[in-house]
């Protein structure tokens, strides 16, 4: 999945109109990393894939497989870890910020976690950065929701779309701003239907649905020009993104609390942002 996404994004780098995006096409740079748990014992690692290009201002597509023991202060927050702190976790995480404010930012993550229990989690959500595009009637919003619904509907017996859509709306919300981060998508955690193969197939289809729809959204928007005011609005909206990731995002907290790679975890931060 990581390789397929990177290839699709590099193709978009190549195809974006040179009149709007001068310079050479970007390419992903891969950087391996290793971790130790809180006791100092080696515990897996991962691979960062980051591209800074002419179309993609900053995009990270990261894979990790980590294991070890949760630190004592963190165990009560993880299902199945209170009595036995051993864990194993593997996943892919993606965040994309584009130069063009007409193209929405996006996040996707899928993962499998094992303690004395085991479960899948993940989802994908879209964040338009211009207020005029942050509506449920916008064509990008409609298409993105349709793609996420299709992934759920293909596994309707174990993946209730309306539940996971509502979960996304409630999760990606900034209480202090009283506003949503984006226009939604799907989000799920602690997913264990009792049929591991079915749960894996659903989680894989979430990734495939993302790979099908998001490059289409980029391509349909990358020919649109933008103004200085659009860029200013984009940078301010990115500030909300930073606030959510640092204050509320469980994935960010999990990574930092389990000795993950800081550069990889914080690669979700936009390269430029404003708080006016």
Residues in Cβ contact with 111 at an 8 Å cutoff, skipping those fewer than 6 apart? 89, 90, 91, 92, 93, 120, 121, 122
Task: Verify whether residue 67 is a known catalytic residue.
Answer: no
Q: What is the CA radius of gyration of the chain?
A: 18
Closest by CA to 191, choosing from 206, 181, 170, is: 206
Bridge partner list, 123:
109, 187
Tokens of 97: 């910020």
Candidate list 97, 107, 145, 155, residue with the active-site label? 107
**88/132 Cα distance (integer angstroms):** 43
- Alpha carbon of 13 to those of 132, 204, 222: distances in Å? 25, 25, 10
72-75: which pairs have CB atoms within 8 A and are 24 or more residues apart? Answer: 74/257, 74/258
CA angle 41, 255, 127 (to 5 degrees): 165
Closest by CA to 65, choosing from 34, 86, 39, 94, is: 34
Active-site positions?
107
């Amino acid at each position: 999945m990581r390789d397929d996404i990177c290839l699709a994004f590099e193709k978009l780098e190549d195809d974006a109109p040179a009149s709007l995006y001068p310079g050479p096409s970007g390419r992903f740079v891969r950087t391996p990393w290793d971790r130790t748990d809180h006791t100092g014992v080696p515990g897996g690692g991962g691979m960062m894939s980051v591209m800074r290009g002419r179309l993609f201002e900053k995009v990270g597509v990261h894979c990790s497989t980590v294991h070890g023991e949760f630190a004592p202060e963190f165990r009560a927050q993880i299902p199945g870890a209170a009595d036995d702190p051993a864990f194993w976790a593997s996943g892919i995480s993606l965040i994309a910020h584009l130069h063009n404010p007409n193209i929405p930012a996006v996040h996707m993550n899928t993962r499998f976690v094992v303690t004395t229990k085991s479960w899948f989690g993940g989802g994908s959500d879209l964040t338009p950065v211009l207020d005029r595009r942050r509506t449920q009637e916008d064509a990008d919003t409609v298409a993105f929701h349709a793609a996420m619904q299709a992934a759920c509907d293909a596994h309707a017996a174990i993946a209730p779309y309306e539940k996971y859509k509502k979960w996304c709306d409630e999760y990606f919300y900034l209480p202090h701003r009283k506003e949503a981060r984006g226009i939604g998508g799907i989000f799920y955690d602690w997913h264990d239907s009792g049929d591991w193969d079915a749960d894996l197939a659903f989680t894989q289809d979430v990734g495939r649905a993302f790979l099908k729809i998001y490059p289409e959204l980029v391509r349909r928007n990358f020919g649109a020009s933008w103004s200085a005011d659009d860029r200013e609005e984009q940078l301010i909206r990115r500030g909300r993104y930073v606030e959510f990731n640092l204050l509320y995002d469980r994935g960010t907290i999990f990574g930092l609390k389990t000795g993950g790679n800081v550069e990889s975890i914080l690669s979700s931060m936009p390269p430029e942002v404003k708080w006016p």
